[in-house]
Structure 1
Amino acid sequence: MLCILPFWGLPAYGNENVQWSGFGSLAVVTADSDELGYRRDYSLTSEVFDGQWSFEHHSNLGVQVDWHINSQWDVTAQLLYRSQRDINLDTLTNLAFLRYAPDSRWRFRAGRLPFDLFLMTEYRDIGFAHSFAKVPSELYGIIPHRHIDGIDAEYHTNIAMNTLSVKAFYGETKELVSAANTQSGRDFKLDDVWGLAIDLKSFEWELGLNHTRTRIDNQVAQPLIEGNIALSQIPFLNAAWPDAVSDALRLNLDNESISFTSFGGQYHFPAITLQGEIAHMQSTTETVNDLNSGYLAAIYNYGSHQFTASVSHAATDRDESLLEGIDVGTLSLSPDALGLYIGADFLHDFYNINQNTLSVGWRWNFNDTTALKVQWDRSRIYGSGSSLWQPPVETRSGPRSTGTVNALFVEVSWVF
């Protein structure tokens, strides 16, 4: 915002160097499960169960202003409403950066920038820009952070008939994150976000490689660590949970690191587009489990219509031996000790995704700026469950549910 403020009060009306644009989606979703409540990603504190219809999860409205100061400098600001819990300038500001392009090869930006994690990072929330009524949750739902506050540098060059871009970025970011057994959330901050994004494209195809490494700034596990140190000083409780301190330290989040790598691409045949991405996430904390995910989609173009089909998958590599062999009955003799165990189990299950989804959809561009999209998802939740799905309030202290869920999405998207 500091980059934008010096220019914010200048008149835009009648200035040909200032361009206003916008986008939006009016989308409704419903599901058919009483045990597994749908939510878009980890930032949502609400869910959609059988018989419910929600406009909250995928409806949004955005407006963007681009000011081309001269051939080398420009400013971009974008406000986006997408059902944020707190509505203020900070949460609504999706982009706000100053860009400097000394020549056709180099670009430098500072401010609030897109977080380059995926193939569709730049337009994941612009429904009109892609074919899906809902992008695959197995990849795009696992990290709710949309932007970083920082800097980036990008280099462009041509290789034969192809365009290569290499971007490096640094910054920090935070986003509301809600666990799957609560309807409350708290800010999840990431510091020292270092990243590299490489993109190679031609008219017919595109390949993208993204790698990010960051440090977690979150002390949610600190009360557990301190409580388990105290618990270890009580002989009969220490005997019931001999690894209490080491278990708590393994669940610590503060100053732990996460690395995320994704590789994706698309190829345009005359009538069909194939698109896919795979990703791997690794961390040094047992609260954020290692993850492998991806999807493959086919898009058939027929006049003003598109027909889509995709399969997606996500599975975490969770250490199931953590918190095993604990005498919960003895811990129950002390409400504080039992509370510590419940807290540890909560963190251990916080980021646990095991699901496959089959999707089919239809898009109709009924004019140049508006599209109707319909999509059906059939998700299978297996193993130890998936924390992308909310359980009912009355079962949030029990085991996570598994099974199959059908979800229907209907969306009208537009640009202006």
Structure 2
Amino acid sequence: MKRLTFGRLTPLALAVLGFAAHAQEQAAADSIFSLSGFGTVGAVGTDTSEARYVISGQPRGATKSWSGDVDTKLGVQVNAKLNKMFSATMQVLSKQNGDGSYKPELEWAFAKAQFSPSVSARLGRMGAPFFAVSDFRDVGYANTWLRPPQDVYGQVPVSHFDGGDVSYQTNLGSATLNLQAYAGKSKAVFEGVDIEMDKLVGFNASVELEGGITLRAGHMQSDLTVKSASLNQLVGILRMVPVPGAAAAGNQIDATDKKATFTGFGITLDRDNWLAMAEYTMRRTESYVPDTDGWYVTLGYRLGAPWPVRYDE
């Protein structure tokens, strides 16, 4: 996996108090294992009790009564460097899930083979690479935002997948090209409803140019299933109603093994003290789940010297 270095200050919001703590590697220098962690404690409040502020998929959030459920999380990660070629990573993450609990979940558990400086492969459970910021979006201090923009990052309610991927990196003159192909399956709980994504396949391509510019494009598709008892009951009733078009309507809203796709494009400029980011994403499904388009633009300026932060993927 890549070792990324960030020098960004996380902005503060008036309604949110957050801080992050990082545990440095604990293992001895001659050990094959290393231990690290990250955490965020946040409190959120709004000016109304008629609606709740939540991150996409969360059943509990903030009203006039402040809540720590939206942003608070704790992660622990163990890395094992077996030799020059093989390594393994496991990460356990506790945050409010789709059931409204903080039950720790296995977020990562994969083995990696670095066949050459340019080619690597992983097998197991990995972070879902659907967005420009995917692997470290839960690591608060490694991000410019207080939380990822939900108009984009809330479109796909899964954070990991079980399967494998292959990555390739090469230099094209002064540019660096990164390619990734992946396949597997995933499942998640969205506001108490089970969601499954089978036959998941996708790719990502990015190119790093001179001047701190990075361009990215990605696409994935899967068979989507939403396991809702009330929805299945409604579909069954419509299919039995002896009215023209009723059965067709039931088939249209049925969410069992329906094709779903997600496509994203992004650009980042990171030069001196300036940072600019933008993403445009599209979700399309053949079920009752609506088609969506989302985008954001972020512009930032660092005050003072960059804050060196190391994050081991």
The TM-score normalised by the length of structure 1 is 0.64
> How much has 1:284 moved relative to structure 2?
1.0
In structure 2, the residue matched to 1:181 is: none
Query: Which of 243, 246, 250 matches 1:244?
Result: 246
Matched, 1:209 2:209: no
Q: 1:261 to 1:369 in 2, by over 3 A?
A: closer
In structure 1, the residue matched to 2:172 is: 159
- Write the deviation string for residues 144-175 of structure 1: whole angstroms up to 9, x where unpaired: 21000000011111111222111100011111
Contact 2:52–2:62 (CA<8 Å) still a contact in 1? yes
Bigger share in helix: 1
Query: Which of 46, 49, 52 matches 1:37?
Result: 52
Contact 2:184–2:200 (CA<8 Å) still a contact in 1? yes
In structure 2, the residue matched to 1:64 is: 77
Query: Which of 195, 198, 203 matches 1:191?
Result: 198
Bigger share in strand: 2
For residues 53 and 30 of structure 1, the distance between their equivalents in structure 2, rounded to whole angstroms, comes to 4
Give the 5 Å matches for 1:118-133: 118-133=131-146
> How much has 1:225 moved relative to structure 2?
2.1
Contact 2:195–2:227 (CA<8 Å) still a contact in 1? no
| Paired AA for residue 216 in structure 1 | L
- Write the deviation string for residues 346-400 of structure 1: whole angstroms up to 9, x where unpaired: xxxxxxxxxxxxxxxxxxx6xx679xxxxxxxxxxxxxxxxxxxxxxxxxxxxxx
Structure number with the bigger relative contact order (C-alpha 8 A, sep ≥ 6) is: 1
- Write the deviation string for residues 253-281 of structure 1: whole angstroms up to 9, x where unpaired: 10101110001121123322111100011
What is the aligned-residue identity percentage? Answer: 23
For the residue of structure 1 that corresponds to 2:240, the secondary structure is helix
Query: Which of 62, 81, 88 matches 1:48?
Result: 62
Q: 1:212 to 1:38 in 2, by over 3 A?
A: same
| Paired AA for residue 205 in structure 2 | I
Query: Which of 275, 278, 281 matches 1:276?
Result: 278
| Paired AA for residue 186 in structure 1 | V
Q: 1:30 to 1:87 in 2, by over 3 A?
A: closer
Query: Which of 16, 21, 24 matches 2:31?
Result: 16
Give the 5 Å matches for 1:263-412: 263-285=265-287, 287-303=288-304
Contact 2:194–2:227 (CA<8 Å) still a contact in 1? no
In structure 1, the residue matched to 2:237 is: 227
Query: How many residues get paired?
Result: 281
For residues 102 and 227 of structure 2, the distance between their equivalents in structure 1, rounded to whole angstroms, comes to 25
User: What RMSD over aligned residues (CA atoms) do the two structures have, in Å?
Assistant: 2.2
Matched, 1:260 2:262: yes
For the residue of structure 2 that corresponds to 1:55, the secondary structure is coil
For residues 196 and 227 of structure 2, the distance between their equivalents in structure 1, rounded to whole angstroms, comes to 10
For residues 207 and 221 of structure 2, the distance between their equivalents in structure 1, rounded to whole angstroms, comes to 22
For residues 70 and 269 of structure 1, the distance between their equivalents in structure 2, rounded to whole angstroms, comes to 36
For the residue of structure 2 that corresponds to 1:76, the secondary structure is strand
Give the 5 Å matches for 1:74-153: 74-84=87-97, 85=99, 92-153=105-166
- Write the deviation string for residues 45-90 of structure 1: whole angstroms up to 9, x where unpaired: 11322x12111111111111111100000000111111233565xx
In terms of Rg, which structure is larger? 1
For the residue of structure 2 that corresponds to 1:167, the secondary structure is strand
Contact 2:39–2:75 (CA<8 Å) still a contact in 1? yes
> How much has 1:16 moved relative to structure 2?
2.8
For the residue of structure 2 that corresponds to 1:245, the secondary structure is helix
